[in-house]
Structure 1
Amino acid sequence: MSGGTAERMLDHPMVVRVAGDEHAGFYRPRPGTGVAGGASAGVAVEAYRWGALTAGAAVRTASMLLLLPFMLANLSIWLRPRSADRFDLLAALCRVLAGTITAAFVLSMVGISLDLVGWQCVPYEWCRQDRPYLSWLNALPMGARLSLLSLIPLLALRVIWGMGRRSARALEGFGQPAPHPPTSYREKLTTPGFWDDERTPAWLRQIHVVIGVGTLDVSLLGGVSGPEGSAARLLLVPAMGLLACCAVLLCLPVPTSSTRVRRILLSLRAAAAAVTLLSLGYAVRAGHVPPVAGQLPGYEGGVGVLQSAQGVLLVLLAAVTAARPRTTTGSRPFLAGLGTPVVAAAAVTVAGAFASTLVFRVADQLDRGHVPGALRANPPGVAPLDPPVAYWWAALAGLAALMILAGAACTTYLLTARRRRRVAERIVAQDYPDVPPQAAPRLNAVRQAIARSHVTEELGPMLVAFFLIAALGLAVTTFNAIGLGPTQLVAELTARPTGTALVTAYITDAGVWIISLLVIGFIILAYRSYRSTQTRRAMAALFDLADFWPRIVHPFAPPCYAARAVPELAKRVSGLVGTGKKVVISGHSHGSVLAVAAILQLPPDVLRRVALLTHGSPLGRIYTRLYPAYLGQQTLCEIGEQLDWRWRNLWRDTDPVGGPIFVGHRAKRPPCGVPEAESVDLRLRDPRAVTIDPTDTAPPPLERHWPYHTQSAYQTSIRELTEQIP
């Protein structure tokens, strides 16, 4: 089982699908064309190809890059140090933070349509000159113009809502509905219906749509209220009450009663529709709103308040995560167990970078390349297309975070080089004790490959980088709250404000452009993923870590492919066992994670006829550290016990992804406390030799992460596991 092609997995050129469909299916060699490569006679070899769920659809793969902030927000909760309790404050905070990211997305669209176009550009002749697509808007009163332009954020919200609903129909809810649906905050992978629950993303999707609509209503009413807009200020109360109601619902578990869910969502949608229609109607009737120079009234304050709220939520997330006891995993957890606030902060940073890039690039297009700013006054008659202060800070914070992370990565690589070389030298000396001098170059290449493959375990400096970024984010939040921009701050702190502030302005502009180029690079990569199959597969492999988990925090994240793959695989295994067959599940790389998740869903009578073979598996090396609450070593020990230790794991020191399953055990104490667990991990020497065989012209290749199934140890493990099945 792997994400590659069926022909490659079966090592056979002609295959036929025996179950599933073109997105995910089970394949065997075509009858009459021989057996799969290396298979024994009488043994049926079957490949499960699930890679099309992540890399098969070009549009889906490209959308993963564009939906990156939502994906990171959804991933954050799965990195928590221990599973949920009855009152899961951590999950509630993650959901509220995810709601603010949706609001930030809508605010960026409001900044483009209502603020830059409707309020700042259209009233100025120089801005709308030679632009017939904008000129006609000048004939409309300001209120009607803003009301009409409000359709753009609504349309953008409708697009991402449609993407989430479409992916839910394609992947989620694949299996039969669970008789006892899980709670919103799931505790273990063994929970019935863990993967095939469609209620949670559907519930969250409706709430996030209302959050987006409420954000638009508040922005529109704030813009048209004016000094005499008492009715608009009166309408702000239900609009803000709508957002508060959504925040409360995000903190509560999904109701188990479908009738109650429909009643709550129907009331929420009706209230949102009523408030939106009243807001749009009031804006149209308001007519000519008194003009105010600068930005849309209330818009800059709204962006600053939202980013301040995100900063407070991140602080609470870090505090709650640090206060919770850790789950014993047998290995060092990712970022000292602070993975949840780290990834949540990354989601906020990426969302801010996306929003600032979008707003700045539209502003740059509208003002025909003229860079706005207090130190570079606009020519007479030119629209003051100046984005909010918060976006200037977001661009600078994103640039600083990028530089800090790059510095931490370089520091990690350099500071751990000596330790990794020592480990590589010890392994090479053990595997190749007597090497002739002419094989020294090949031996050095093997040593370097081993040293590079062990960089995955070295993440210490990244924790320092997180704290630096967090401190930077708190400072930015403070400046946003008081409306102080970068140049104004420098001017206040220096005795010679003009020159220093001008340098700061150029640095800020550079930060905006660099962040913009990075986001544009993401868009280009998304386009390449749409056009190129190889790029699509590479990107899908990177996103496997995030899209593996159900959407219980942000409903607009890319779909969870495991919601189909795990129930489908468990059903296929149960069906084969039901016909009296022995089943050895073989999972390579991320396929081993799907195999483990499927085994946790199998009933005991099926498990008695099942064995597990993993190879190139990231379970012990990556997953126990990233997701200690769900795939920690305690869970892996439970899987071994359920299988009666019919489990083998093949790994190589040159593999940058795979490794041993039980990485935390010591020689004096067997893993999981039982001697049988010591037989799980089987290390393969790579390469087989560093000298050239007399019958060959080149030394054996470095296999690294692929292949494993062509090795003799693989076939031996299959035979041994088959014999162990009763």
Structure 2
Amino acid sequence: MSQEEPESVLELRIHGVNNTPPHALLDLPEDEVVLSFGDDLGSFWHPTPEAVARTRADEPQGETSRGVVDPAEPPRGRVPAGIHREAYSWGGMVRTTTARAGVGGMVVAAVARAAWTLVLPFSIANAAIWSWSLPSPASGTRIRYGSGLIRLACLALTLVFVLSFASVAIDLIALQCYRGGATICPPLSDVAGMFARWQDERRVALFSLVPVVALLVVFLVSTIATLRYNVAGRILAIDGGDPERPLLAEPRFWQTRRETHRLAMLHLAAGFATVALLLSFAFGDLSPVTAALLTGAAVAVIAAAGALTVSTDSTPYERTGGSSRAPAIVLGLAVALYAVPALVLGFHGHVRLHPTAIGRNADQVLVSVVVGALVLVALAWLLPAPRRTERAWGGRAPAVFLTLGLTISLILGSLVNVLVGDWLNGAAGANRLDEPYTACVGSACRPRQITLGTFYAPFLGITLAAVIVAVAILAVMALRRRDVGDRLPPSSAAPADTPRGALAALLGTEVARKRAMAARLHLVEPIAGVLAVAFFVAILLTLARPFAEGTLSRLPDGLGAFFGGLFGAGLARWIDASLGVWAVISAAILAGLVFGGHKSTRPLALVWDLACFLPRAGHPFGAPCYTERAVPEVARRLAWWLDLPPAAPGAPPRTAIVSAHSMGAVVALSALFALRGDRNWETSYRDRVALLTFGVQLRPYFGRFFPEILGPDVIDSIPCAKPRVWARDPWAGSDLERIGATVGADANPIPETASAPTAAPPGAARPAARVPARAWINLWRLTDHLGFPARSAAASGNERDRYAEEIDVGGYVGAVDSHSWYPRTPAYRRALEDLRAAIATPVAAPGPTPTLPTPAPAPPGAPGVDPA
């Protein structure tokens, strides 16, 4: 091909979890890429004409005397003739925020990081609603018991969030730090010493605003994100037909639904009512009848919010027909229920409070909420989804996600209490925070000592022990020797007389080490399962601790003293020690939030990106779903390119190749499914789009976590079994057809040795393709800790997956690549040319609109079926 060939092919590159900047995604210097279209959240970039001309020059990249550079390698960032290359950057939607200079910018960034950390458990719990058994949109309009259960569990997480801030603001600061008209907390003596002269009830009314404001901040952040991200309705031209399309092609999946706002109102109502419940405890001395009425009203509002949460339609397949005004009414009642007692406490001068009464009752409310949440999680553990072999954790993914979300929420709330309590306690230290409440008033209390509720401190101590046990189990799993060489395709070895082959011989030890490490890191599913079980047990033991202490106290004197010393005193000493550890952890987290660098990075990278991929149908206060904006943007860009006239007179119609890395492959696939719903798909777009993926987690992670969204029936892959923890190769023989399941061949396979596919004979009908792309090639490596085959772990009968070179010979020195730099490999360049040739071949006869039927079992030996 000559360099003057018109650019008829769009190669659209999409980055993955590491938020690769556009210039690195295009493999060019930063000053050689320019913005094509977009803003600070999502943008498209392309090389400058000078960069394209430079990289297309027929010059060797370097001399072998300078190092190990292979002169045959093309220049980095070289764009083949006839291709217009662009990079799509979506990292601003999920992982970072714009850096701000100066002290003010550091404060804003620290607050942003803290906010993202606090909503992390909401996002993880939200994933649970998509991991249960989801019916297709065509299977009927009904609510599923699992959806309601998960929405109710997510509401419990909001209450845990509110109670954590209420414990700090109302109990620790408003009541315990001010006694007898004096400030006993040294850090507050200068800054907030004036509050010591206030009556207790007025301080309670003022500081009750803290959990309310925290809840409103989370709500406002989610609402602003919704306004910026909800663009699907303005971008996509969705056809109303095709009732059998998968969820990724369902219009409602990519559009923030009004039901999410209804859920948000219900969460706000429950939060306001919970704070009102705490304030109602202050009226016991003034009027027991008033206190009982306020308490009953608050409980009734919380119950109403819970009932409406269960019945609210929040997923694309549910229709409940509930009143849209009910959430607003409940929210209005909750606001009034909070405002009235707060105003009475603030302006009435004759209410008398016990300094520890609200704290004790708040602790009991927290325990009640945690018990309720744990019951819901237990139901999720006991009610696994069907097709358990094909699902993560044996169909118990909702239980795992809910357990992780609840535990992280409790840990964050406990850390907030421990960190603030340790700061307020002065010289007393964190190990004094777990002492029980003392019924004291004024000067009768010991000076300079405050205590936490009866849940936070024991929970942190027991959780630390559970984490240690889980880490020990995971360490044993990690120590297992790993050898994954048996899955290496025979054709992947480079000739010994080439630079890559010579380097492979020199770096053989490093290659083997990286392959073994990748195999260990591939055990995400069992690792998360071990942690979830440990966390569930930790919560259960924390709740059971008071009953155990009561049982020990009723034993005979000798036995009671023995077991009390063994379990009671020993556990108390462990909790004391663990609080010091957690205080250090809290300080480290706080330091990381304040001095976290120039960018505001969201926590837990891959976990965050996995959770934020899904719309907020379970918890409305989770992080924004980046795909609600990224997917429509990519689909619109593809439609824009495909709608352009030919690049030159007489040139063929324009075509597109979506090239996606890691999590970018999820965005790419989702965008293709969204584009499939376009009214021009069948008549214009269908045969002009191809997909090239590399370093993806589609089959073993997304396919097992969310089978109805990205499972084998959707992406046409062999169903995947769980990894074998104690096997040398966790994924050897992971294809489920070894136990009888079979899946048909790819619709449009491309042999690796083929330069171009054979054109269909005149009048031939096109086969129906599951994935809305003319062809799909996936690249993977054994050294990639986040990359897997996209169709099957077996090599035979698998023409979608190709092995990419592990040795990079394009730099000054050779390197062993793992999850990065796939576009630098010869395998990528070959795949790009094969896909380019595939979509350039016309299809003779139009076929029916593609659907996703369940394939019939293929006969033994059929093409594309892996051997058992």
TM category, shorter = 0.7 to 0.9
| CA separation of 1:216 and 1:563: change in aligned 2, threshold 3 A | same
The 8 Å contact of residues 425 and 447 in structure 1, kept in 2 or not, is answered as no
Matches within 5 A, 1:327-406: 329=390, 333-370=391-428, 371-372=432-433, 381-382=445-446, 385-406=450-471
Shift of 1:611: 0.7
Greater alpha carbon shift after TM alignment, 423-432 vs 273-282: 423-432
Matches within 5 A, 1:600-619: 600-603=673-676, 604-605=681-682, 606-619=685-698
Shift of 1:144: 2.8
| CA separation of 1:525 and 1:629: change in aligned 2, threshold 3 A | farther
Shift of 1:593: 1.1
Partner residue, 1:80: 132
SS in 1 for 2:824: coil
SS in 2 for 1:557: coil
Letter matched to residue 800 of structure 2: V
The 8 Å contact of residues 428 and 447 in structure 1, kept in 2 or not, is answered as no
CA distance in 2 between counterparts of 1:170 and 1:56 reads 15
Matched, 1:597 2:654: no
Q: Which runs of 5+ in 2 are unaligned?
A: 1-13, 56-76, 99-108, 645-652, 718-745, 748-768, 843-868
Matches within 5 A, 1:245-284: 245-254=304-313, 263-284=325-346
Matched, 1:478 2:544: yes
The 8 Å contact of residues 566 and 598 in structure 1, kept in 2 or not, is answered as yes
Letter matched to residue 5 of structure 1: P
Residues matched between the structures, number:
696
Matched, 1:196 2:255: yes
| CA separation of 1:574 and 1:294: change in aligned 2, threshold 3 A | same
Partner residue, 1:712: 826
Matched, 1:28 2:46: yes
Partner residue, 2:33: 15
Partner residue, 1:675: none
Matched, 1:40 2:40: no
CA distance in 2 between counterparts of 1:716 and 1:187 reads 31
**Which of 799, 802, 812 pairs up with 1:679?**
799
Shift of 1:148: 2.1
Residues 199-232 of structure 1, C-alpha deviations (whole Å, 9 max, x = no match): 2432222211111101100011023323842112
The 8 Å contact of residues 570 and 602 in structure 1, kept in 2 or not, is answered as yes
Partner residue, 1:94: 150
Partner residue, 1:414: 479
Letter matched to residue 652 of structure 1: R
Partner residue, 2:162: 106
Which structure dedicates a bigger proportion of its chain to helix? 1
The 8 Å contact of residues 190 and 601 in structure 1, kept in 2 or not, is answered as yes
| CA separation of 1:22 and 1:350: change in aligned 2, threshold 3 A | closer
SS in 2 for 1:44: strand
Matched, 1:651 2:780: yes
Matched, 1:467 2:483: no
Matched, 1:156 2:214: yes
Shift of 1:612: 0.6
The 8 Å contact of residues 221 and 232 in structure 1, kept in 2 or not, is answered as yes
| CA separation of 1:274 and 1:287: change in aligned 2, threshold 3 A | same
Matched, 1:625 2:682: no
Shift of 1:147: 1.7
| CA separation of 1:720 and 1:597: change in aligned 2, threshold 3 A | same
Residues 672-710 of structure 1, C-alpha deviations (whole Å, 9 max, x = no match): xxxxxx321111242279xxx9xx996x42122221112
Partner residue, 2:368: 305
Shift of 1:559: 1.2
Matched, 1:635 2:722: no
Letter matched to residue 158 of structure 2: T
Partner residue, 1:64: 116
CA distance in 2 between counterparts of 1:519 and 1:486 reads 34
Shift of 1:238: 1.8
The 8 Å contact of residues 81 and 325 in structure 1, kept in 2 or not, is answered as yes
Percent of residue pairs bearing the same amino acid type: 23
| CA separation of 1:61 and 1:574: change in aligned 2, threshold 3 A | farther
| CA separation of 1:194 and 1:402: change in aligned 2, threshold 3 A | same
Shift of 1:367: 3.2
Shift of 1:258: 14
| CA separation of 1:232 and 1:613: change in aligned 2, threshold 3 A | same
The 8 Å contact of residues 177 and 197 in structure 1, kept in 2 or not, is answered as no
Partner residue, 1:673: none
The 8 Å contact of residues 273 and 335 in structure 2, kept in 1 or not, is answered as no
Shift of 1:476: 2.4
Partner residue, 2:573: 506
SS in 2 for 1:679: coil
CA distance in 1 between counterparts of 2:273 and 2:212 reads 11
The 8 Å contact of residues 389 and 483 in structure 1, kept in 2 or not, is answered as no
Partner residue, 1:584: 657
Letter matched to residue 184 of structure 2: C
Shift of 1:294: 6.4
Partner residue, 2:562: 495
Letter matched to residue 310 of structure 1: A
| CA separation of 1:489 and 1:30: change in aligned 2, threshold 3 A | farther
SS in 1 for 2:85: coil
The 8 Å contact of residues 120 and 294 in structure 1, kept in 2 or not, is answered as no
CA distance in 1 between counterparts of 2:821 and 2:93 reads 22
Residues 565-586 of structure 1, C-alpha deviations (whole Å, 9 max, x = no match): 0011011111211224111111
CA distance in 2 between counterparts of 1:495 and 1:259 reads 60
Greater alpha carbon shift after TM alignment, 367-376 vs 618-627: 367-376
TM-score (norm 1): 0.86
Partner residue, 2:815: 701
**Which of 141, 153, 172 pairs up with 1:116?**
172
The 8 Å contact of residues 518 and 784 in structure 2, kept in 1 or not, is answered as yes
Matched, 1:316 2:379: yes
Residues 496-541 of structure 1, C-alpha deviations (whole Å, 9 max, x = no match): 7468644432210222232343344333333444x234x8389655
| CA separation of 1:437 and 1:382: change in aligned 2, threshold 3 A | same
CA distance in 1 between counterparts of 2:548 and 2:219 reads 33
Partner residue, 1:674: none
CA distance in 2 between counterparts of 1:64 and 1:293 reads 32
Partner residue, 2:791: 662
Residues 131-176 of structure 1, C-alpha deviations (whole Å, 9 max, x = no match): 1555433433333332222122222222222221222222234542
**Which of 709, 712, 722 pairs up with 2:836?**
722
**Which of 184, 199, 224 pairs up with 1:127?**
184
Partner residue, 1:517: 584
CA distance in 2 between counterparts of 1:114 and 1:26 reads 49
Matched, 1:224 2:283: yes
| CA separation of 1:465 and 1:404: change in aligned 2, threshold 3 A | farther
CA distance in 2 between counterparts of 1:257 and 1:432 reads 55
CA distance in 1 between counterparts of 2:823 and 2:328 reads 53
| CA separation of 1:92 and 1:426: change in aligned 2, threshold 3 A | closer
